[in-house]
Amino acid sequence: MSIKKINVLSRNPDHYLRETKHDIHKVQRNYDPALHPFEAAREYKLAMNSVKLERVFAKPFVGSLDHTEAVSSLCRHPHRLSCAFTGTVEGELRLWDLSKKKCEWMVQAHNGQITSIVAAPDGNSFFTVGNDKTIKKWNLDKAKKGNQDLPVDTWLSDTIVTGITHHRSRKEFITCGERVLLWDASNKAPKFSYDWSTSGDKNDASVACVKFNQVETSLFASSDYANNLVLYDTRGKEVKKLKMNMRINALAWNPMEAFILTAASEDYNVYTYDIRKFSKSQQVVNIHMGHTAAVLDVDYAPTGLEFCTASYDKSIRIFRTEEGHSRDVYHTKRMFKVSCVLWSGDNKFILSGSSDHNVRLWKAKSNEKLGIMRARERYAINYAEELKRKYGHFPQVKRIARHRHLPQHIYNAKNELRAMKESRSRKEANRRKHSTPGEVPHVSARQKAVVGLQDDGVLPGTSSD
Amino acid sequence: MMVCDYEYGQMSEAKLFFREKEEEEEQMFMVSGVSHSGMEEDNEGQKEEGEDQQHASHAHLLSDIMKMSKKGKVEVDVRTSLAASSLNTSHLLTRILPSTSLRKNKHTYTLAVPVEKTVSRREVEEEAGARKAVSLQQVRERNRELWRQKEMKRRYEQKARLMNKSKSRKHHRLLRRERLKKQKAELEELHKTDPEAALDGLQQLERARIEERMSLRHKTSKWAHLQGLRATTDKSVMAALRENQRMYKELTGKATQPVESEEEEDVAEGGVHSQKGEERVQCEAPAMSPATLGSNICLRPRPQRIHTRRSPSRASRNSGKKSTGGSRQTGRLKNRLEAEREETRDGDAEMMDEEEGKTQEEEEEEEEKLESEKLESEKPVPEGHGLKTLTKQPKKKKNKKSMNSLDRTDQDQEALSIDDLFDKVEIGIKNKVKKKLKRLGVHSQDPWTEVKKKGKKKKAALTIAPSEIEEFDFTSTRNQENIDETKERAGTVQALESLEEEGGMDKLQAAVQTLKGSPASQGTLATHKAKTQVDPNKFLQVEPKQLMTALPDCVGEAGEAMEDTHTETAEDIIREAFSDDYLMEEFSVEKGEAVRKDQAGGLSAAMPGWGDWTGPNIQMSNTKRKRFGLRLPHAPRKDSRLGHVLYNEKADVSELPYPFKGVKDFEASVRAPVGRLFVPEAVHKRLTAPPVVIKMSTVIQPMTEEELLRHERSGRGEAEVEDSPREASGGTERPREASGGTQRKVGQRNSKRKVSQLGERDVVARPVIRTPTPGEAPEV
């Protein structure tokens, strides 16, 4: 008697052997769900593994671009991915080749800080504004040749210019400072001044930031030091003026959704507005929390699904537009307060300029594999992503996916902020409890941040030179 | 009990022995604080007895001395070879001790030895006087005798030492065999004389079995290992290995609830197990367990051909040989008839019984043959031990009957006591049955009491009524079968006059009907089945699943058809192939660990510094921590009642996640698989396609007004057309359209895509912005 005799199926090797090692043979499978009773459990396990692997491979830092001064502004080229400009607080302007991490051109552009850089839509010229009350236009081609340290064109302003934005298609740009000025590139004088101070009322604060809408091209928004967020239309006058509790440091329009405006606020939060609702009570559609210090800059991903913020708390956060808390937070030991941030045109990288004389290059998705992938690998990654999404609500998966190591100062500040928030809410609840009903009404956090719409019908005087 | 006595005896013997030796050397009599009168009396009868005991058997003494020389191992020996020798201390003493102090010591060894000085001195004086009185001749004789004893002892000791040293396997095997034989004989003897002690012996056997089970000797022995190496070439070795495997299974099989297992074997198993070929081994081969031992003893056919209960498996087998149709029925009937005859002893019934008996005789001869063969092949079991049933619940009438038959022939007094016991237990069972019936809703007519009453009226019904009860053994596993059988039996039995008048029968039937009909009964039936079959076999019970495939099933029937000569079925082969895998055990270990982990987390309310010192490097004592330990009540694990399930409670989603409208939707979304292992490749790709795909090294330009306006101009229709390829195919081609999961999935995917397409879609709602009047517009 033999030991164990098991009858096996006889199979033709041609059906299951590969001709070459690159062949992927079809595995015969019976998809009857009755035969796979543990499919959910197995997928759960796969999801667990993939979310763990995600954390294993989360290495976002790509490289840094060294400067001699703190970086104050960033700009990307409208067409070229590897091209970026940086400006420092000492007025130094640099052109970078990002793929080589090499400075291609450097010039002392302004006396004092370069507050903002913007590229013209043609891609060949770009504008810088600085503390020396000048607007300078530079040519990229000339810059690339080198030894060219003179601007192509210069505009003089009577006040300090703190920001500049360019129309998407037309040769117009808007600068902001004590006044908001619309310039035509062909003209040395501003075409139009959006000026509130002439009316003599208190709204004479200088403007911190101005941004053109890239989709609805005649729209632009500005934020001033009087905590106002103002919507303008170049075809007419300012449309709406919303007063916030705290100043707004930076603005960004969603490049895919024309009506979404995101503002980086001094009160550690980032607010997203729906400009269609400005006349109603609910202007703020989302509050993005997470930073533990003032948010200094915000920039949208070109897909419009995410944006990143730079903060005084020495970190960068990445938010999904529809979520209230950040998807990821980037920090390094040596990164100091981040003053500007930029999302690359191909949605892959984030640039952050900080006061530690560095511009850092990060991966937008920390665990993403860069470079060319085979189809199978991509499918595997897609499957893993889908599984993570599918099981993302399960506590273990969620915990792993959410877990981040934070530097101590952020961690402590976070706890402190939480305590403060709890204390405030407790106090409010107590006040509500001990006062007559209705006296202390419930106000949502989104409404609390907003003082109100300053749509008082007062039109600014137009002073076109 | 007995073992303890024995051990104690051993020790005291040993002590005594050495004490004796000293005394002999000193030529003094041992002095103790026992009463003088008794001692003196003993002294008188000493000499004759001493003479007699010189003829003590060689072997006996040898073995004793061996044991003594193995001092340390004595206890171990005893445990494994329980009650190996029926030694009494007196016996031993008489053999060892040459002379005078014998009787005295027999009394003294159990007592403490407080020696009173005065008394001893007096005694010494007396004895000194007596010694002086003896002549030289006597002294010499005495010395010689002492010398002889010493010499004998020395020789025996030497021999024993040699024997202990011996490493011959054969020798040890012989010794073991001898010892076993002796054990059995003693057990038999003991059963006749002292049934309780015999019971202890049986328990000892059981214990030995358990120990063997624990040691896993049969699985891991060196021998098995070596045989495993040889097995590839030698077929006989393979057979031996198989036998070993079988033995191992028997030994390791958990003998949980011997009562029930016995029940299974005795009452219900019958046809079913014979039908299931693979379980035959289990019921045929009795392990060393007392349960099977007891039953086996009962089964042993008597030479006087007194009607015995036959093993159900055998019965069925025999009946299977003769007639296939009503085999079980006839077997049952015979049993029943035997019972009748035993119980009633009525003249009118005996006529029929004899006729039946004749037909039975042939069968029983066969039985005997089979039995003897079996018993020879396996371990022979002493006959005449019906004792096992004493401890068991004597639910089975047949068991009892066979018992009775044995008892009647062998010892009548014992039967009486056993009967009493049975009655007691029976009452308990009846109460149980009553309760159960009540629970099932049979309040009004209590069939058992009815029957009982009737039985009291009748002459022999007292015993019949319980027999009826036996048949409705609710705790038995094969309840349904029992019921069926009784129906059949009742049908045939109606031919008998003895049962014709019983009206209780109908009521029983009625009760059975109600029991059968009620869902509760089925539930209980199921649970009972589950309970009794718990037999947590560590081994995978392979049940080949017949797939609905077009492929030829070579493993199953087809394989058998191919080789008819092969007696083994495919299932057997598979079972054997997986027999070595500890899958179930591994799983249970895993689950146990999970449970332990779950329970871990010793919270303690103990405060440092209260009752002990505390400080930076001082830890609280464990005892204190334990004393103030908090045991927080928590909900039982969800898999606590699911045997083969390990429930991951950490994977429970406590709140309904945002995009889902209901728990059902969420569950469905989780349940629907997306992997290529579970869905076809194309579907897998579609399901796992990322919502946003970005071309490499391409600048993503912001949304353009043209694009938006184009959409707006063309209206919704065009936008939908753009969507349609994915959507439509998703709707129609999805493999499991019926399941809610995929539908949910579709919906969810839409919602997900909506985010990316929001710009396109919501452009329609754009013109909220107040556009200026033409006059206001600045010049460009």
A102-111, A142-151, B15-24, B599-608: least confidently modelled range: B15-24
Distance (Å) of CA A229 to CA A246, B411, B527, B739? 10, 111, 73, 50
8 Å CB contact of B674 and A390: yes
8 Å CB contact of B700 and A5: no
Q: What per-residue confidence (pLDDT) applies to B539?
A: 52
Q: What per-residue confidence (pLDDT) applies to B392?
A: 41
8 Å CB contact of B763 and A258: yes
**Which secondary structure element, helix H or strand E, spans residue B573, and what is its range?**
helix B570-577
- From A361's Cα to the closest Cα of chain B, the distance in A is 16
Closest partner residue to A1 (CB to CB) among B238, B680, B705 is: B238
Q: Note down pLDDT in tens along chain A; length 465 residues.
A: 556 677 777 877 777 777 787 777 777 889 998 988 889 989 999 999 999 999 999 999 999 999 999 999 999 999 999 999 999 999 999 999 999 999 999 999 999 999 999 999 998 999 999 999 999 999 988 887 766 778 989 999 888 899 999 999 999 999 998 888 999 988 889 888 887 654 445 556 789 999 999 998 999 999 988 888 989 888 876 678 888 999 999 999 999 999 999 999 999 999 999 998 888 788 899 999 999 999 999 999 999 999 999 999 999 999 999 999 999 999 999 999 999 999 999 999 999 999 999 999 999 999 999 888 998 899 999 999 999 999 999 999 999 999 999 999 999 999 999 999 999 999 999 999 999 998 999 999 998 999 888 765 444 444 333
**Quick check: helix, strand or coil at residue A342?**
strand
Mean pLDDT, range B102-129, rounded to an integer: 55
From B660, which residue of chain A is nearest by alpha-carbon distance? A393
Mean pLDDT, range B467-473, rounded to an integer: 38
Whether A164 contacts A114, CB under 8 Å: no
Looking at the whole model, is its pTM more than 0.90? no
> Which residues in chain B touch residue A171, judged by CB atoms under 8 angstroms apart?
none
From B690, which residue of chain A is nearest by alpha-carbon distance? A382
- From B679's Cα to the closest Cα of chain A, the distance in A is 6
8 Å CB contact of B670 and A391: yes
Question: Nearest-CA neighbor of B154 among B19, B62, B51?
Answer: B62
Mean pLDDT, range B73-97, rounded to an integer: 44
Give the count of alpha carbons within 13 A of B645, CB side only.
Answer: 12
The residue assigned the tokens 């600045």 is B778
Q: Does B636 score more than 70 pLDDT?
A: yes
Helices B519-532 & B504-517, crossing angle to 10 degrees? 80
Helices H / strands E in chain B, number of each: 38, 2
Whether B446 contacts B504, CB under 8 Å: no
> Which residues in chain B touch residue A348, judged by CB atoms under 8 angstroms apart?
694
Q: What per-residue confidence (pLDDT) applies to B269?
A: 39
User: What is the distance between the alpha carbons of residues B595 and B590, in angstroms, rounded to a whole number?
Assistant: 9
List A residues 236-265 in contact with B (Cβ-Cβ < 8 A).
Answer: 236-237, 239, 255-259
pLDDT digits (tens, 9 = 90+) for B146-183: 999 999 999 999 999 988 888 888 888 898 899 989 98
Interface check A79 vs B, CB under 8 A = yes
Interface test with B, best of A233, A261, A306 (most B CBs within 10 A): A233
Q: What per-residue confidence (pLDDT) applies to B508?
A: 52
- From B522's Cα to the closest Cα of chain A, the distance in A is 27
Closest partner residue to B231 (CB to CB) among A3, A192, A346 is: A3
Q: What per-residue confidence (pLDDT) applies to B664?
A: 92
Mean pLDDT, range B31-57, rounded to an integer: 44
Q: Of B376 and B664, which is predicted with more confidence?
A: B664
Question: Nearest-CA neighbor of B687 among B765, B745, B604, B630?
Answer: B745
Residue B486 CB-density burial (10 A; 0-12 exposed, 13-18 middle, 19+ buried): buried
Read off the pLDDT band of B514 (50, 70, 90): low
From B772, which residue of chain A is nearest by alpha-carbon distance? A236
Tokens representing B359 are: 């037909």
Strand partners, A325: A289
User: What is the distance between the alpha carbons of residues B391 and A359, in angstroms, rounded to a whole number?
Assistant: 88
Closest partner residue to A4 (CB to CB) among B562, B573, B704 is: B573
List A residues 392-411 in contact with B (Cβ-Cβ < 8 A).
Answer: 392-396
**Quick check: helix, strand or coil at residue A224?**
strand
**Angle at Cα B130 formed by Cα B126 and Cα B136, nearest 5°?**
155
How confident is the prediction for chain B on average, in pLDDT? 58
Q: How many CB atoms lie within 10 A of CB B384?
A: 17
- From B60's Cα to the closest Cα of chain A, the distance in A is 47
Give me the phi and psi of B449, to 5 degrees please: -65, -35
Task: Please list, residue by residue across B634-673, b when 16 or more beta carbons sit within 10 angstroms of its beta carbon and e when fewer do.
Answer: eeebebeeeeeeeeeeebebeeeeeebeeeebbbbbbbbb
Q: What per-residue confidence (pLDDT) applies to B600?
A: 64
pLDDT digits (tens, 9 = 90+) for B268-315: 434 434 344 333 333 333 333 333 333 333 333 333 443 434 444 443
User: What is the distance between the alpha carbons of residues A222 and A196, in angstroms, rounded to a whole number?
Assistant: 13
User: What is the distance between the alpha carbons of residues B503 and B251, in angstroms, rounded to a whole number?
Assistant: 47
Q: What per-residue confidence (pLDDT) applies to A262?
A: 96
Tokens representing A116 are: 């903002």
Length of chain B: 780
- With residues binned 3-state (H G I as helix, E B as strand, rest as coil), the percentages for chain B, rounded to 5, are 65, 0, 30
Q: Of B504 and B288, which is predicted with more confidence?
A: B504
User: What is the distance between the alpha carbons of residues A184 and A193, in angstroms, rounded to a whole number?
Assistant: 12
**What ipTM does this complex have?**
0.89
8 Å CB contact of A81 and B697: yes
Q: Of B544 and A324, which is predicted with more confidence?
A: A324
> Which residues in chain B touch residue A234, judged by CB atoms under 8 angstroms apart?
778
**Which secondary structure element, helix H or strand E, spans residue A311, and what is its range?**
strand A306-311
> Which residues in chain B touch residue A215, judged by CB atoms under 8 angstroms apart?
702-705, 708, 759
Q: Does B196 score more than 50 pLDDT?
A: yes
Closest partner residue to B699 (CB to CB) among A79, A275, A392 is: A79
8 Å CB contact of B769 and A42: no
Interface test with B, best of A26, A280, A381, A390 (most B CBs within 10 A): A390
Strand partners, A172: A184
User: What is the distance between the alpha carbons of residues B476 and A190, in angstroms, rounded to a whole number?
Assistant: 102
Q: Of B730 and A268, which is predicted with more confidence?
A: A268
User: What is the distance between the alpha carbons of residues B294 and B290, in angstroms, rounded to a whole number?
Assistant: 6
pLDDT digits (tens, 9 = 90+) for B706-724: 887 776 555 444 333 333 3
**Quick check: helix, strand or coil at residue B605?**
coil
Between strands A190-194 and A180-184, the pairing is antiparallel
- From B639's Cα to the closest Cα of chain A, the distance in A is 15
Whether B1 contacts B200, CB under 8 Å: yes
Q: What per-residue confidence (pLDDT) applies to A291?
A: 96
From B769, which residue of chain A is nearest by alpha-carbon distance? A276
Q: Which of A66-80, B56-70, B133-147 has the highest mean pLDDT?
A: A66-80
8 Å CB contact of A276 and B765: yes
Mean pLDDT, range B490-501, rounded to an integer: 45
Q: What per-residue confidence (pLDDT) applies to B504?
A: 44
